[in-house]
Structure formats: C-alpha cells, structure tokens
C-alpha cells in the first residue's frame, strides 16, 4: 500500500494463538500527508505611475512529509504571465508563483492539489499614487531681525488611487501649514528670520511623504542680509492674500496693511507681475513713523477658467524687500457651465533626458495666460479640460519643465469654441 507504514509486534503467542495475536497487535500508522501554506496570504500588486503593469508573488511551501503537485488557477484577465501554473513540491520544499498585474482589479486565485485542502488567495491590483509638487524649490530673502514671509506649495496626485500626504521641515525657522492632507492641496511655507543675528545663506529641506508613493523633497534657500538702518523697518498684515470666486463672478478686492516700525518716514512700493491683479489704491505709499497705510488690489475673474492661480508680490522700502504670496481660486457654477463641455489636447513627447513634466495653460483671449490649469507628469501627453462655458472660445498652450523647474517656451496656440 502506497505511503503506508505497517507496524506489528509479535509476542510469544504460540502456534495456536498466532492468528489471534496478529489481528489484535498488528495495526496501521496514519498515511504520510502533504500540507500547503502560502505567504503572503493575499496578493497585492501596485502599478506605479507611468507604467502599465507590475509584478507580484506568492510563495507556496509544503509543510508535510509527502510530495504534492499543486496548480494555480484564477479567472482574472488582469493577471498574466504566470508559468508554469502546475508545480511539484517535495516535503519541506517551496516554490514562488510570480505573476503580472496589468490593470486595476480585485478577485481571487486558488492553489489546489490532490490530497491537500484548496488555498484561496485574495487578489487586489491597484494603481499607486504619486506626489506632484509645484514649485520644486523655494527661495527666501530676509534681514537680520526682520519679519516673516511666505511661499505656497501646490500638491497634486500625479498617479492613481488616493494620495494621503504629510509634509515636514527640518529647520525651526521654516514652518508649514497644513502639514498633512489628501490628494490636491496647498501648503504655506513661512520663513521667520527673527532668530538670526548674522547675515548669511541658509538651507533647509521640505519633505513630502505619502502612503505607497515615492518621497519628494523641496530644497529651500534663505539669504539673510544686515538691516540697512536701525531706524528702518516695516511689517505687513496679513502676510498672504487669498481670494475665491466663481468663473465670471464680480471682482474681489483685498489689501494689506503696512506698518512703519522705524523712526523715520518710510516710502514703500508694491510690485507684481500678476496680470489678473489690479491696484486700486496706488502702488506707492509714504508712512509716518509708527503709522500704517493700506495697499489694495482687485482680483479679476474675467477671462479666467476654473482653477487655482498663484503669484508673488513684493513690497520694498528703506532697503528692505518683503514678499506677499497671492492665490485666486475659481470654481464653476452649474447654471452656466456643463461637465460635458470639454476640450481635449494631445502633444508629442519631449525627448530631453531631464524632462520632469508638462504644464497646460488656458485663457479666453489669444496670448493671454496666467497660471497653469494643470501640471502633468512626463509620461502624460494628453489632457481634457472640462466644465467649459457654452458660447466661449478657449485658447490653450503647453510647456515642458525639467527637474530643476526650468520651463520651456510655449507650444503653438490652439483654440476651441464651446457650442
């Protein structure tokens, strides 16, 4: 009998009782068995951004004392490339089943063999998220004992799934808010030079991590100069300006208050290159010692499509220059815009070795563009703008940017009229 061990004990029974002794004292030991366990107990495959497939593996181990032949089976078209599907494992032996996931899917696979229980393996194939950052570097300037200034960092999910991110700074003079979020978001990075007593150049790093994504870092530089005069200085409140509205809505006016902290009269000048921001109070004011003055600007929604626009203004006076980050966020109104009003763009891939990605710009007049409506990874050569206004002609251009943040010239302009 196969796989059976016979064990008998023959005592001194004599000739007459031999048959009886044999039937009572001769028995059988359990058959030698195989047993299959798998690690891990579930198959999870994450397809990285820009790729169409990824590999995963399951290791099957025979923990029994007899050999066994097992077969992998699944009914998932998104699992491919496994060979061979049938394998024989000796006692204590292992074999790794490596298989390719080619599209997002969930399901099950099985490992089965004669004389062993069937093992069911849950399968989950997903696209993994990727961190997109804009800008990719930050530069601050300040004076010894001066006041704080801020920049904004736009975070986007350049991959699939859900991007759950956290951000941190490695120095005390640079603070971040917020420090965590999900998918797209904006971080305000605030520099405070108050603790510096010596002029010089300083460096920091902003680190952004996310579950299942490659960590990204942003280098930060700070140049601290000596104060030009102990009797000169000013503060700005608020340190940033943020406006919101809907496409086509009325303008929004906001301003900053500048306080002269010095002992002499101070003339300060506002400067910016933001074409959707218009001064309403004049760009230059003179402030008495200890006094304050306001500079107001109007954010115009005219000619802008939905999205977030950003820029930086400077306020200079008394040998001191400070920065004011400014953002404008526009959303759509359901009564005027439709999700079915779209414009699809495509372009030839840039072949530069240091290519980082592409930026898409849109406007409602030829040659008039502000901030990009989207930033895309280098593996993407197409984009569809949605929620466009009926009866409006939209103009589009595309640029490429490298790993250092340098941006190419704009592409040829294309347009589409939404009917």
Strand partners, 188: 152, 177
Of 128, 134, 207, residue with least CA distance to 399: 134
pTM above 0.85, yes or no: no
Q: Please, is 250 exposed, middle or buried when counting C-beta atoms within 10 Å of its C-beta (0-12, 13-18, 19+)?
A: exposed
Q: Are 359 and 405 in contact (CB under 8 A)?
A: no
The one-character DSSP state at 23 is H
Tens of pLDDT along 404-418?
Answer: 889 999 999 999 988
Q: In sequence order, which residues have a C-beta less than 8 Å from that of residue 82 and are 6 or more positions away?
A: 72, 97, 98, 99, 100
Tens of pLDDT along 125-167?
Answer: 988 888 999 999 999 988 876 778 899 999 998 887 889 999 9
Counted residue by residue, the chain has a size of: 419
pLDDT confidence of residue 385: 87
Tens of pLDDT along 250-261?
Answer: 788 888 999 988
Tens of pLDDT along 196-228?
Answer: 757 788 999 999 999 888 899 999 999 988 765
Q: Are 369 and 398 in contact (CB under 8 A)?
A: no
Residue 362: how many other CB atoms lie within 10 Å: 22
Cα gap 259→288, rounded to integer Å:
9
Sign for the CA dihedral angle at 235, 237, 238, 243 comes to negative
Cα gap 278→297, rounded to integer Å:
5
Cα gap 411→346, rounded to integer Å:
11
Cα gap 357→403, rounded to integer Å:
8
Helix H or strand E encompassing 44: strand 43-47
Domains assigned to the chain: 36-127 (2.60.40.10), 130-227 (2.60.40.10), 230-323 (2.60.40.10), 343-417 (2.60.40.10)
Tens of pLDDT along 327-345?
Answer: 888 776 544 445 568 889 9
């Amino acid at each position: 009998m196969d796989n059976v061990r016979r064990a008998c004990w023959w005592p001194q029974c004599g000739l007459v009782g031999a048959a009886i002794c044999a039937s009572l004292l001769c028995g059988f030991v359990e058959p030698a068995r195989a047993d299959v366990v798998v690690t891990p107990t579930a198959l999870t495959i994450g397809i990285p951004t820009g790729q169409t497939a990824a590999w995963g593996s399951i290791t099957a181990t025979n923990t029994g004392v007899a050999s066994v032949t097992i077969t992998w089976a699944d009914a998932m078209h998104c699992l491919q490339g496994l060979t061979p599907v049938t394998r024989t494992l000796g006692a204590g032996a292992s074999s790794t089943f490596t298989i390719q996931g080619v599209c997002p899917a969930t399901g099950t696979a099985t490992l089965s063999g004669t004389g062993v229980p069937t093992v069911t393996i849950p399968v989950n194939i997903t696209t993994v998220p990727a961190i997109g950052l804009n800008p990719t570097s930050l530069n601050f300037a300040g004076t010894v004992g001066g006041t704080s200034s801020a920049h904004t960092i736009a975070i986007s999910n350049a991959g699939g799934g859900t991007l759950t991110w956290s951000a941190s700074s490695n120095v005390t003079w640079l603070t971040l808010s917020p420090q965590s979020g999900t998918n797209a978001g904006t971080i305000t990075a605030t520099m405070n030079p108050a603790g510096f007593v010596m002029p010089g150049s300083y460096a920091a790093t902003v680190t952004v991590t996310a579950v299942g994504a490659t960590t990204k870092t942003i280098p930060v530089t700070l140049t601290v100069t000596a104060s030009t005069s102990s009797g000169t200085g000013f503060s700005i409140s608020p340190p940033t300006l943020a406006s919101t509205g809907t496409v086509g809505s009325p303008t929004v006016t906001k301003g900053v208050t500048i306080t002269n902290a010095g002992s002499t009269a101070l003339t300060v000048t506002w400067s910016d290159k933001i074409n959707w921001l218009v001064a309403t109070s004049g760009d230059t004011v003179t402030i008495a010692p200890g006094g304050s003055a306001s500079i107001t600007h109007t954010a115009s929604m005219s000619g802008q499509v939905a999205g977030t626009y950003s820029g930086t203004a400077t306020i200079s006076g008394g040998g001191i220059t400070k920065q004011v980050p400014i953002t404008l966020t526009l959303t759509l109104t359901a009564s005027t815009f439709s999700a079915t009003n779209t414009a699809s763009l495509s372009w030839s891939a840039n072949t530069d070795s240091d290519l980082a990605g592409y930026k898409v710009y849109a406007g409602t007049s030829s040659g008039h563009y502000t901030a990009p409506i989207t930033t895309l990874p280098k593996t993407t050569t197409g984009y569809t703008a949605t929620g466009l206004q009926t009866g409006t002609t939209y103009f589009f251009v595309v640029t490429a940017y490298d790993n250092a943040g340098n941006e190419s010239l704009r592409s040829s302009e294309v347009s589409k009229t939404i009917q």
